[in-house]
Amino acid sequence: MELRSLGFDEHFSAAFHTYAARGLKPGRVLLQYNHIYTVATQDGEMSAQCSGKLRHAAYDGGEGGTLGQTPVTGDWVAVQASGAIGLIQAVLPRRSQFSRKAAGRAVREQVIAANIDTAFLLVGLDNDFSPRRVERYLAATWESGAAPVVVLNKLDLCPEPAARLAEINSVAVGVQVYAISALLGDGVDDLAAYCEAGRTIALLGSSGVGKTTLLNRLLGSNELPTQPVRLHDGRGRHTTTRRELMFSPSGAMMIDTPGLRELQLWEGDEGVQATFDEIETLARDCRFRDCRHQDEPGCAVRAAVDAGELDPPRLASLHKLQSELAWLDRRQDQTAALAEKRRWKSIHKAAHRLQRESPKHER
């Protein structure tokens, strides 16, 4: 298997130079299942696991750490062939990574997939339809470093597709939007331009939106299982339970992902600015540079809302995402401070223990 066909270009080659001197091999993570990875190398596919050193480094951050420092699907890694199962010694610097705040109360980053060129953001034209969710996915994608493409699926179930297409175009400023039916194949050919050899595409969206059905179309097979959605709300069960990189007939690489029941941003200042670019442009004419666009005098953004030039839910969505990021920043600061306090407490305990255990000096 040629590494270039897997996306191994000059960027990753330069990053791997140090590891080549140690006799390690470059490989790309195709699949993660618990703590075992399937890695593609120039000698073929192999099973591998993280070295103890890599696992320790990844989770040494405590409560405020990240789940993204161990390999994820799409990563390039330095692997050591060691019997039946290889050892992953390092993860090469990522060109892009799609992250979210991990589900639950813990303040951690979860990386969904790495080294993505294009993200197909799937939204259903049925009960799953939500412009606000599109804004959230766009912010996360712009922040990731990948290029977003909005794919409105289930065209066959939508009686008024033109109105919904216009609604999404109004929030996905500067982003290509396609309306398709993955089930019937309508409009799927329009996505072929993104499926070039050596490119990596991730399919992202909520459960039941049709990611696996679209992937089967793009792969030219029906090997991946699909399940019907619930009729009353359009939601589906998790047909895809793991993230896997697969190859299309064109040579493009596709990453299928489980449905995301929630997408809380992890980082997003630049992504939010790119997603709400027209509001950022209006804000340049606000009287105050730090205007929050709420009740400040001379706010050009509020004036645009009052004049009917800016949709009020659009501004409300911006405020919601900004508040979410501000809350996350505060929690990260608190977590970091608590971790530092615990570290010093541990150091003091160790010092007192050594002092008690050391022999007393004779007078």
What is the tens place of the pLDDT at every residue in 128-154? Answer: 899 999 999 999 999 999 999 999 999
Q: What is the pLDDT of residue 254?
A: 95
Q: Decide if pLDDT at 72 tops 50.
A: yes
**Quick one: 65 exposed, middle or buried, by C-beta within 10 A (0-12, 13-18, 19+)?**
middle
The chain-wide mean pLDDT, for the chain, equals: 85
Q: What is the pLDDT of residue 68?
A: 47
Q: What is the pLDDT of residue 182?
A: 95
Q: Decide if pLDDT at 349 tops 90.
A: no
User: Residue 50 region, left (φ>0) first, then alpha (ψ -120 to 50), else beta?
Assistant: beta
- Split at pLDDT 50, 70, 90, the class of 106 is confident
- Split at pLDDT 50, 70, 90, the class of 38 is very high
Q: Which residue has the tokens 């590891």?
A: 19
Is 349 or 187 the better-scoring residue by pLDDT? 187
Q: pTM for this structure? A: 0.82
Q: What is the pLDDT of residue 336?
A: 58
The β-bridge relationship of strands 200-204 and 118-124 is parallel
SS3 243: coil
Q: What is the pLDDT of residue 277?
A: 94
Q: What is the pLDDT of residue 153?
A: 97
| Domains identified in the chain and CATH numbers | 4-93 (2.40.50.140), 98-256 (3.40.50.300), 276-351 (1.10.40.50)
Distance of alpha carbon 117 from alpha carbon 144, whole angstroms: 10
Phi then psi dihedrals of residue 43, to 5 deg: -95, 5
- Give the Cβ contact number of residue 261 at 10 Å: 10
